[in-house]
């Protein structure tokens, strides 16, 4: 173990030295001594200004400190959500190609893994200790309360290392099944936190995490895809934002390990196109179109999360506005991808059946809509008082999302076939009415009844749409 520790220290030392040389070279190109001195001078004064402003806000921080306990369960649940999101991209235990090459020498990978596992615990301990000291000095919070918070966060985040390692090894669909199961458990824990005392709730959650860790410890080396682990960690270690921007060279993974790649990718993707099954062919073409735009789709999901939780935390009117805005963003961006996909050369090279093209696109759109609905449900549970009427509202929101997607896609098909087609004013009025009702439905729950009326009016356009399909078939 001592020899393994020594060689790992040697590798880490030379890795840091190499990064220092790269940063020194990049900073030497970007800044000269004059600019660096001015930046340091202004940064020094900004720190004093920030410290003075924090002192003026002391009474505000004291009032927050008195109410901080009610956010404690949400922070722990947020750590679990963070683990789920990161499990798509990296395994948390940083074993790179340099450590992997040691296995060709008399070094055991199990020993290397254990050292890095202990190192992750040590990193978290140092991080939370530094944060505790910094916040206790700068902010006027109760130190006993802060210590309890950071100790709990340290234990919870450390117990999530092994689950993230295990989730990273799973295949895409299997991972999504576990993902949905854990999200369901998070929702249950949220309900339980409203009933039980925080201390009892915390003991239950930590006990569950300990049980999961004991179970996964016995399986930590089973079905491990070491090449996938090494590829992800190499990218994580050597992806340096400032260096990439200065050199205009991005370090990318050789394997597709993003969220969308793992959700959409199947074993059938490498097989030839099944031309006898028209719907499957169009589905694979749409999959390729959406994977090209996965960066923009991730930005869309990130924007939805920010709008829902930032606006939603301000009040009921703001939360209703957030739902309306995010649904507008989602439907319009998905509709734009459909319109751009209609110009794909491969779609034009196949027999043109617009109904099949639309249906195959909706197969993938429903998957993205499920992600949006999960985010909306989590925002509801976190930010609103749970009740039966809340779930009725949620079902009405899902129905509205479905019909808005249908309407947006149909509009693009009309526009694709008729260049000078204009949307009827009645249709514009209905869509605006849906968004207004949606924005008012949280503060004024009775407004949700108008969803039924508006959605009923929208059904009449289905007959007109069917006539149009027959005319172009």
Residues 158 and 127 reside in one and the same domain: yes
- Provide the domain count of the chain: 3
Listed as ranges, residues in the chain with pLDDT below 70 are 1-2, 32, 58, 60-69, 172-173, 242, 245-280, 294-295, 343-354, 384-389, 416-426, 446-473
Query: Quick one: pLDDT at residue 473?
Result: 46
Of the candidates 205, 181, 162, 161, the residue with the CA atom closest to the CA atom of residue 72: 205
Query: Are 167 and 262 in contact, with CB atoms under 8 Å apart?
Result: no
What gap in Å lies between CA 436 and CA 399, rounded to an integer? 16
Q: What are phi and psi of 107, to 5 degrees?
A: -130, 135
Residues 231 and 94 reside in one and the same domain: yes
Is 261 a member of any domain? Answer: no
Is 64 a member of any domain? Answer: no
Residues 124 and 15 reside in one and the same domain: no
| Domain housing 455 | 278-472
Is 283 a member of any domain? Answer: yes
Of the candidates 361, 216, 393, 202, the residue with the CA atom closest to the CA atom of residue 289: 361
Rg of the Cα atoms in the chain: 27
Query: Are 409 and 462 in contact, with CB atoms under 8 Å apart?
Result: no
Is 244 a member of any domain? Answer: no
Is 313 a member of any domain? Answer: yes
Query: Quick one: pLDDT at residue 329?
Result: 86
What gap in Å lies between CA 420 and CA 411, rounded to an integer? 12
Query: Quick one: pLDDT at residue 126?
Result: 92
Query: Are 163 and 117 in contact, with CB atoms under 8 Å apart?
Result: no
- The dihedral region occupied by 107, where left means phi > 0, alpha psi between -120 and 50, and beta the remainder, is beta
Residues 108 and 160 reside in one and the same domain: yes
Residue finishing a domain among 210, 237, 264: 237
Q: What share of the chain is helix, strand, coil (3-state, %, to 5)?
A: 80, 0, 20
Is 193 a member of any domain? Answer: yes
Residues 283 and 205 reside in one and the same domain: no
First to last CA, the chain: 72
What gap in Å lies between CA 357 and CA 290, rounded to an integer? 14
Contacts of 270 (CB under 8 A, 6+ apart): none
Residues 96 and 189 reside in one and the same domain: yes
Residues 310 and 444 reside in one and the same domain: yes
What gap in Å lies between CA 227 and CA 76, rounded to an integer? 32
Residues 43 and 84 reside in one and the same domain: no
- DSSP class of residue 95? -
Residue finishing a domain among 186, 217, 237: 237
Query: Quick one: pLDDT at residue 472?
Result: 45
Residues 36 and 80 reside in one and the same domain: no
Residues 121 and 216 reside in one and the same domain: yes
Query: Are 414 and 469 in contact, with CB atoms under 8 Å apart?
Result: no
Query: Quick one: pLDDT at residue 7?
Result: 84
């Amino acid at each position: 173990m001592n020899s393994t520790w020594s060689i790992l220290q040697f590798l880490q030392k030379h890795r840091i030295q190499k990064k220092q040389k790269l940063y020194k070279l990049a900073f030497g190109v970007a800044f000269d001594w004059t600019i660096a001195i001015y930046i340091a001078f202004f940064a020094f004064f900004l720190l004093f200004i920030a410290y003075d402003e924090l002192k003026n806000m002391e009474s505000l921080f004291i009032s927050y400190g008195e109410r901080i306990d009610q956010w404690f369960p949400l922070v722990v649940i947020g750590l679990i959500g963070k683990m789920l999101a990161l499990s798509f991209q990296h395994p948390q235990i940083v074993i790179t190609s340099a450590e992997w090459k040691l296995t060709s020498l008399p070094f055991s990978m199990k020993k290397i893994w254990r050292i890095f596992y202990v190192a992750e615990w040590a990193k978290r301990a140092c991080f939370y200790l530094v944060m505790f000291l910094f916040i206790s000095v700068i902010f006027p919070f109760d130190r006993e309360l802060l210590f309890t918070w950071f100790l709990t966060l340290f234990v919870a985040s450390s117990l999530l290392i092994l689950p993230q390692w295990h989730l990273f090894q799973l295949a895409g669909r299997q991972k999504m099944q576990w993902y949905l199961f854990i999200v369901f458990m998070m929702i249950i824990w949220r309900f339980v936190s409203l009933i039980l005392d925080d201390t009892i709730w915390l003991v239950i959650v930590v006990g569950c995490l300990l049980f999961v860790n004991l179970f996964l410890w016995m399986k930590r080396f089973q079905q491990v895809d070491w090449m996938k682990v090494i590829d992800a960690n190499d990218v994580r270690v050597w992806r340096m934002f400032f260096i990439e921007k200065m050199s205009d060279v991005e370090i990318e993974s050789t394997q597709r390990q993003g969220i969308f790649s793992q959700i959409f990718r199947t074993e059938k993707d490498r097989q030839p196109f099944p031309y006898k099954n028209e719907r499957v062919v169009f589905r694979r073409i749409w999959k390729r179109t959406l994977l090209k735009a996965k960066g923009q789709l991730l930005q869309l999901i990130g924007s939805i999360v920010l709008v829902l939780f930032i606006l939603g935390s301000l009040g009921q009117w703001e939360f209703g506005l957030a739902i309306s805005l995010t649904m507008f963003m989602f439907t319009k961006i998905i509709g734009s991808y459909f319109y751009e996909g209609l110009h794909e050369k491969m779609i034009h090279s196949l027999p043109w059946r617009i109904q099949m093209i639309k249906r195959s696109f909706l197969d993938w759109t429903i998957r993205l809509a499920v992600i949006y609905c999960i985010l909306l449900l989590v925002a509801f549970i976190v930010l609103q008082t749970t009740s039966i009427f809340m779930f009725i509202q949620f079902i009405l929101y899902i129905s509205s999302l479905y019909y808005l997607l249908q309407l947006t896609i149909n509009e693009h098909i009309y526009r694709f076939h008729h260049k000078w087609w204009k949307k009827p004013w009645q249709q514009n009025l209905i869509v605006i009415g849906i968004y207004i009702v949606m924005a008012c439905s949280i503060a004024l729950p009775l407004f949700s009844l108008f969803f039924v009326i508006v959605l009923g009016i929208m059904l009449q356009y289905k007959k007109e749409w069917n006539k149009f399909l027959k005319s172009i078939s």
